[in-house]
Each structure stands twice: as structure tokens, then as C-alpha cells.
Amino acid sequence: MIDVRRLQLLQALDQHHTVAGTAEALNVTPSAVSQQLAALARETGVTLVERSGRRFLLTGAARVLLEHAGVIFAEMERAEADLAHYAEGGVGVVRVGSFATGISDLLAPAVAALRASHPGWRFEIVQAEPEESTEMLRTGAIDLAVTMSSPHLPPSGTREFRFDPVMVEPFDAVLPYHHPLAACTDLELGADLADADWIMSGPGSAWYDCVTAACNQAGFQPRIVHTVDEFSAVFALVQAGLGVALMPRLGWTGLPAPHVVIRTVRNTARRHIIALSRAGADPEPLLTAVREAAGKVPVPSVAPLLVPGSAGTG
């Protein structure tokens, strides 16, 4: 490996031709110049200088090396300029991971906005489930995780990581269009949904844990009749009139919903969406952009639904 500082010394020798002149220009001793030239010759394995009286002349090999040195020095200057720009917030590279709906509803709009406001920044997005995020951060595979509260996260206050809140995401009721409660604008979890047939993911999933905990808090155990993992499958089953579901808000916002209604629920399940990064990292400007995207997540319509065939529909 060639020491770049020795290349700078060789370049100075080419300009001043003597060890004394080179030493004076670089503010070092002549013996240091001689030692560094000898070390550079050992690193490259070629003869770099020839002595002619008190002057030193560069060999052809040294000329070849200096041609590359110019490119190296230029790249170093660009790197220093980019680092200064980075320190001012003008450029950066961030690898960010998130669960699927976090990507579609938070990261995608956030990064799209930053491409206009921060053109010097580059973001690389990967899907990372909550159980993967901590280890991916620890190994450097990602720099920031937009994830959700779960047992897989490190304990709050861990010095190794930084926790920044993004949003508290409520779970909303998904009902068939002709369901008796479809015309209601706001539901009560225990009073309205305790006797329903439920559609949910399997035990052990974050979705299952959140919803069953909220139902238990409301005083009932949901009667789960269909078990699925994909939100699009939930919609298909609800559209067919086969049950109801509580879905996280980020889960339904991007899905087409013919013959389905979405309603807010009092005492519903909630999950905390957070940005997790290494303790020494600065999550900006992405954190602000993600929070702005979170503020634009749609909420269920509050207008009462007139179900076809009911009074007043004509």
C-alpha cells in the first residue's frame, strides 16, 4: 500500500530538485525527506530518484507514479470538499430499511421529496422486518431503520442505539360494504366488534399480538375464523363478507377498497413507529421527511355511509 503523503513528498521533490528545498517547502527535516523517499521506493519496488550532484532527478518509474498521483490528489480534494459539504448537510449516503408498508407509505414519499430538496443525498432502501433491523444496524448493513415497537427491539435507553419517534399508528376496522356497522363513523371495539368473525394473522406475529392485546383489554377474545398474513388477502376476505379485521393504518392506505369500508375504532390497537439508528449517527434529513410523510397518511372518512338499499339512498 502506497502512503499518499510520500507521493506528495515525491511531487515536491520534482518541483524543488533537492532534499533541502523539498524539506523547506514541506516544513520537515532533510533526513525525514530521505527516509520517506527510501520508504516509498520500498513500497513500490522500483527506483524513483537518481542523484546528479546535489540535485535529485526522477526516474521514468517516478514519472509514471506521479501521473497517477495527480488523479489521486484530485480525488482527495473532491473527497475533502464532499466531507465539508456533508458536514453542512449538503450531501450524504444513507442505507435505510423498513417493513413493507413503512416503505410504501413513509420512505417512498419521504425519499421522493428529498430528491428535490436535497439533491446531493443518495438513499438506498431495503426491506427489513423488525426482527432483522437491530442486527442490520449493528453490522452496518443499514444506517437507519424505520421500524415498529416490538420485543425484537433493544431496550429503550440502550446506549448503542438512538430512538426517534415517528408516529403512533392506530388500527382501523375493515368491514364489508353491506355490514350493519358500515354506516357508523366511529366504532367501539368491545361493544361493536366482540361478536364478529375475525380475520387476522397467526399467533406470534406483531399484528396478532397488537390486536389480541387490545381485544383482551376491551374484555373479549376475538373469534378468529380466517388466518392470513397479507393485507391484500384480508381485503379479499372482507369483500366477500367473510369477516372483519383491525388493520394498521399503513396497511390499508395503498390498497384498492371496492365494497369495503374503513372505520376508526375507540380503544383500538396501536403501534409505535420509530426511527432506530446507531447512537452516534444523525438521522437527518430523512427523519424529518419521514415524519412529514407520516403526517400525510390518510385517515378513514368521517362521512356516514349510505349503504345501497338503506333509507335515503333512493
Task: Show me where the domains of the chain are located.
Answer: 4-87, 92-166+272-295, 171-269
200-251 confidence digits (pLDDT tens): 998 988 889 899 999 999 999 999 999 998 888 998 999 999 999 999 999 8
Banded pLDDT at 259 (limits 50, 70, 90): confident
Per-residue pLDDT at 2 exceeds 80: no
The DSSP code sequence of 77-115 is HHHHHHHHHHHTTS-EEEEEEE-HHHIIIIIHHHHHHHH
Give percent of the chain above pLDDT 90: 39
pTM recorded for the entire structure: 0.65
The pLDDT value given to residue 308: 42
Mean pLDDT of 161-179: 92
pLDDT reading at 294 higher than 60:
yes
pLDDT in tens, 103-153: 999 999 999 999 988 888 889 999 998 888 988 998 889 999 999 987 778
CA distances, 33 to each of 47, 199, 208 (Å) = 16, 77, 70
With a cut of 50, say whether residue 309 has pLDDT above it. Answer: no
Longest distance between any two alpha carbons in the chain, whole Å: 110
The distance of Cα 227 from the centroid of its chain, to the nearest Å, equals 30
Residues of 188-217 as b/e, b for ≥16 C-beta within 10 angstroms?
A: ebbebbeebebbbbeeeebbbbbbbebbee
The grid cell for 146 is 424505520
Query: What is the topology classification, in CATH, of domain 92-166+272-295?
Result: D-Maltodextrin-Binding Protein; domain 2 (3.40.190)
Per CATH, the architecture of 4-87 is what? Orthogonal Bundle (1.10)
Q: How would you class 270 by CB atoms within 10 Å of its CB: exposed for 0-12, middle for 13-18, buried for 19 or more?
A: middle
* Vertex 190 angle, CA 303 and 193, to 5°: 60
Digit-coded pLDDT (tens) for 106-120: 999 999 999 988 888
- Lowest mean pLDDT of 22-31, 136-145, 269-278, 304-313, name the range: 304-313
* Identity of residue 106: L
The confidence score (pLDDT) of residue 80 equals: 60
Superfamily for 171-269? Answer: Periplasmic binding protein-like II (3.40.190.10)
pLDDT band with cut points at 50, 70 and 90 for residue 256: low
Residue 25 has pLDDT above 90, yes or no: no
Residue 235 host element (H or E) = helix 231-239
Q: Identical fold at 4-87 and 171-269?
A: no
Query: What does the pLDDT look like over 62-86, one tens digit per residue?
Result: 888 888 876 777 676 566 655 655 5
